[in-house]
């Protein structure tokens, strides 16, 4: 009889020594981060405000060992965010290293355009109208359904069919009709459970903002976010200091 760990989701057979060891290793990697002591030629992003830890940038033409570690981290992220969409070879990956473990990861990509998110008050009104008419308003773009689906899978203990206005907003990111030029898209941000609420995500965003474009530091509001979850919206709003931050659709893998 298999048992699921309520914290990390690992399936194991109680009393089986091999399963117990596998669960222990996976549980530690999930809660504290995958082990990474460092590399001799690692690309460290200069962060004056960062005292405990460092941020490493990994790109596709880095040594195989670097790419293998990134893939290991991505696999761990997929266990919580859903698989098959987070990473492709043109991405830049930022790893936050603390206590010789990957405490957080940000995956970014080059983009050409993004859309400004409609404020919460306007979005709620639009969602209500859309629900009643059972179609999208022509002056808005709606996407982000993948993000909504990922959250529902993780929280499938809920059996309620009716959703509140806030729940509805998780399933549709409503933005302005006209696109604006953009350079950097944030595909995904992940922080291990034991390192959350320690500003790790903010440090990763800062590292990306300062180093994504060679010789150019982007403004906070110039970062665009793909398929933001509810928590992602809160982070983006706090970091950019606006509810009308930039969003975009991810490119096909």
pTM of the predicted model as reported, rounded to 2 decimal places: 0.80
Please report, for the chain, the start and end positions of each structural domain, with discontinuous segments joined by +: 1-32, 34-115+176-248
Query: 84, 60, 69: which is closest to 35 by C-alpha?
Result: 69
Give the confidence band of 123 by pLDDT, cuts at 50, 70, 90: low
| Greatest mean pLDDT among 122-126, 161-165, 231-235 | 231-235
Residue-wise pLDDT for 80-116, tens only, equals 888 889 999 999 999 999 999 999 999 999 999 999 9
What is the per-residue pLDDT for 181?
96
Q: What's the whole-number average pLDDT of the chain?
A: 83
Give the CATH number of domain 34-115+176-248: 3.40.630.30
pLDDT, one tens digit per residue, over 3-35 is: 899 999 899 898 899 999 999 999 999 999 999
CA quadruple 65, 68, 73, 76: dihedral positive or negative?
negative
pLDDT, tens only, 162-177: 444 444 444 456 889 9
- Among 62-71, 120-129, 190-199, 201-210, which stretch is predicted with the lowest mean pLDDT? 120-129
pLDDT attached to residue 250? 84
Q: Is the pLDDT of residue 215 over 80?
A: yes
Report the pLDDT averaged over residues 139-158: 35
């Amino acid at each position: 009889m298999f048992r699921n760990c309520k914290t990390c989701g690992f399936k194991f057979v109680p009393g089986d020594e091999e399963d117990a060891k596998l669960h222990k290793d996976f549980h530690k990697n999930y809660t504290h981060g995958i082990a990474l002591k460092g590399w001799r030629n690692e690309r460290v992003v200069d962060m004056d405000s960062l005292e405990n830890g460092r941020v490493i940038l990994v790109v596709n033409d880095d040594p195989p060992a670097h790419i293998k570690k990134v893939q290991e981290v991505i696999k761990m992220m997929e266990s919580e965010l859903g698989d098959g969409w987070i990473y492709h070879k043109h991405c830049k990956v930022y790893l936050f290293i603390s206590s010789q473990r990957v405490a957080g990861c940000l995956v970014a990509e080059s983009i050409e355009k993004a859309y400004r998110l409609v404020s919460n008050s306007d979005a709620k009104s639009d969602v209500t109208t859309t629900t009643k008419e059972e179609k999208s308003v022509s002056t808005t773009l709606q996407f982000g359904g993948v993000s909504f689906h990922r959250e529902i899978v993780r929280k499938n203990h809920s059996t309620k069919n009716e959703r509140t206005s806030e729940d509805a907003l998780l399933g549709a990111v409503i933005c302005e009709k006209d696109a604006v030029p953009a350079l950097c898209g944030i595909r995904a941000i992940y922080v291990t459970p034991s390192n959350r609420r320690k500003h790790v995500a903010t440090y990763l965003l800062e590292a990306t903002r300062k180093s994504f474009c060679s010789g150019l530091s982007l403004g906070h509001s110039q970062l665009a976010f793909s398929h933001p979850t509810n928590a992602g919206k809160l982070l983006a709003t706090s970091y950019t200091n606006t509810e009308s931050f930039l969003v975009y659709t991810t490119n096909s893998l």
